Structure 1
Amino acid sequence: MTDAPAQQHAADLALLRVESARLVATVEALGADGIRHPSLCEGWSRAHVISHVSRNARAMLNLVATVEGDPTPMYPSREERDADIERGAASSYDDLLTELRDTCQQIVDALAAMPEAALTQTAQAGNDPAAMTRLAGADLPGHRLREVVWHHVDLDAGHTFADAPPQAVRRWFDEAVADLRTDARCPSMTLRTDERDVVAVGDGRPTVSGPRAGLLLWLVRGRPDQIVAPSPDQLPDLTPMEDLP
């Protein structure tokens, strides 16, 4: 397979293998006490994040089934999804870790085994009818990569977007910028990255600067740790736009 969708599928799958292993290694290092600490997702402990990542893998197996010709909803419902995460978060450390290892491997294997014909078929992702997205089979490894890396960052255990694959960070930064430009709630600003991106929204004031990974962390998780504004009181307020997790 040499077409663009197949190439993107293969490239994202290769990154997903690496990033899944890195996530598992972080959870192994946290230990039983560490997973009970708060995460960057409001109201969630690290155990909630781990539980969610495992359940997302299972839900994505449903998307794989759909693009392969067996239509299956990603989640039964938003309510069941949330309840299942809560049940998982209450599990023991050993059970959470085992489940994470197993489900990470299961979704990687399923994505790797997808037939070529499935790459152009689509499936409905998400559980909110107002925010559902149709994904092609070729997009599924990238969708899962985002879940793995973003929630690895959410564990707040030393792994940041600066540790993520640069090409993926660039993609997510561009997507975040596109979201800013289409959201009426977005305050005016100019984003200036160390990598020389310059993005103006509204009247372009004030300027917020930093590495692309640091600006991404602020845009999607509200953390200003790695960015610079003219003064703290001039940092645009993104709170109305937050949608976690």
Structure 2
Amino acid sequence: MIDHAHDLASVRDATERLLTAVAELDNASVTEPSRLPGWSRGHVLAHLARNADALVNVLDGRPMYASADARDSDIERDASRPLDVQLADLRESTARFQETGAAPADWARTVALRNGVTDSASRVPFRRWIEVELHHVDLGIGYELEDLPEEFVERETGFLAERFTGHPGVPPTHLTDGTRAWTTGRRDTTSPEVTVTGPAPDLLGWLCGRRGGSGLTVAGGSLPALPPL
């Protein structure tokens, strides 16, 4: 069962870790490339701030973004700001998200995200947690997939396995870190099941497009090509 209050606390803790780490940078470092193609660290920080506001919109019943173009232009506009401005903006947008999340609400209601995606309101804090943790890794400042909280790794792996379940382009796939197991891909009995085994951070890295699968072993076929998130 999803506990939105627990996830809000996890978002707060993850954001504090990120802010503490980013505060050690300087203005020049913010302009350097992140691990995301075409984005500087400033782009990543701007995205995190605007995503917090976008999820406030979601919880308040408004469109997540005015448009895809507006989302992209807002990130581009804010990417080149000095470090202190980036930090202040992220703190303030995070506070708005936390305040909205703490307000009494029907957490079982369905909310609208981007591109026609809907979800339970109760899962919005976890979605924000995903943004903060993975983009902290994307900054390339010493926080790696191995540093992610164990609970987060397990839940995000399950979340992504569920996302790819039934996808026609992904063969039936069994995932395991040797202790836990997940299934994903097409639901058919005519294709052989591929088994992908490896450390939990490598499994997650492959599922979320941060690692190519070099730390994984595959039985029953080749490592499936996953669609973009």
Question: Between Structure 1 and Structure 2, how many residues are aligned?
Answer: 223
- CA-CA distance at 1:40 after TM superposition: 2.6
- Contact kept, 8 Å, 1:40 with 1:221, in 2: the verdict is no
- CA-CA distance at 1:19 after TM superposition: 0.5
Q: 1:185-204 residue pairs with structure 2 within 5 A?
A: 185-186=169-170, 190-197=174-181, 199=183, 202-204=191-193
Q: TM-score w.r.t. structure 2 length?
A: 0.85
In the alignment, the residues of structure 2 paired with residue 183 and residue 76 of structure 1 have an alpha-carbon distance, to the nearest angstrom, of 29
1:229–1:179: structure 2 CA closer, same or farther, 3 Å change rule?
same
What is residue 39 of structure 2 aligned with on the other side?
Answer: 44
1:123 aligned partner, one-letter code: V
Structure 1 unaligned blocks of 5 or more: 67-71
What is residue 155 of structure 2 aligned with on the other side?
Answer: 171
- Contact kept, 8 Å, 2:46 with 2:78, in 1: the verdict is yes
1:86–1:198: structure 2 CA closer, same or farther, 3 Å change rule?
closer
SS of residue matched to 1:123:
strand
- Contact kept, 8 Å, 2:198 with 2:217, in 1: the verdict is no
- Contact kept, 8 Å, 2:32 with 2:40, in 1: the verdict is yes
1:97–1:235: structure 2 CA closer, same or farther, 3 Å change rule?
farther
1:135 aligned partner, one-letter code: S
- Contact kept, 8 Å, 1:208 with 1:227, in 2: the verdict is no
Which of 78, 89, 94 is the aligned partner of 1:99?
A: 89
Structure 1 window deviating more from structure 2 (218-227 vs 101-110): it is 218-227
Q: 1:1-245 residue pairs with structure 2 within 5 A?
A: 8-66=3-61, 72-112=62-102, 114-115=103-104, 117-126=105-114, 128-129=115-116, 132-136=117-121, 138-186=122-170, 190-197=174-181, 199=183, 202-205=191-194, 207-224=195-212, 227-229=215-217, 236=223, 238=225, 241-243=227-229
2:49 aligned partner, one-letter code: S
Normalized per residue, which structure has more helix? Answer: 1
- CA-CA distance at 1:21 after TM superposition: 0.5
After TM superposition, what 4+ stretches of structure 1 lie above 6 angstroms from structure 2? none
Task: Identify which of structures 1 and 2 has the higher relative contact order when contacts are C-alpha pairs closer than 8 Å and 6+ apart.
Answer: 1
1:78 aligned partner, one-letter code: A
In the alignment, the residues of structure 2 paired with residue 235 and residue 37 of structure 1 have an alpha-carbon distance, to the nearest angstrom, of 35
Q: TM-score w.r.t. structure 1 length?
A: 0.80
**Identity %, equivalent residues:** 32
Once the two structures are superposed, residues 43-75 of structure 1 have per-residue CA deviations (whole angstroms, 9 ceiling, x without a partner) of: 211111110000011111212322xxxxx2211
1:36–1:194: structure 2 CA closer, same or farther, 3 Å change rule?
farther
- Contact kept, 8 Å, 1:169 with 1:213, in 2: the verdict is yes
SS of residue matched to 1:241:
coil
Once the two structures are superposed, residues 99-145 of structure 1 have per-residue CA deviations (whole angstroms, 9 ceiling, x without a partner) of: 11221222122212x11x4323332112x24xx22332x22221211
When the two chains are superposed, the root-mean-square deviation of aligned CA atoms in Å is 2.5
Once the two structures are superposed, residues 137-169 of structure 1 have per-residue CA deviations (whole angstroms, 9 ceiling, x without a partner) of: x22221211111121122122222332222222
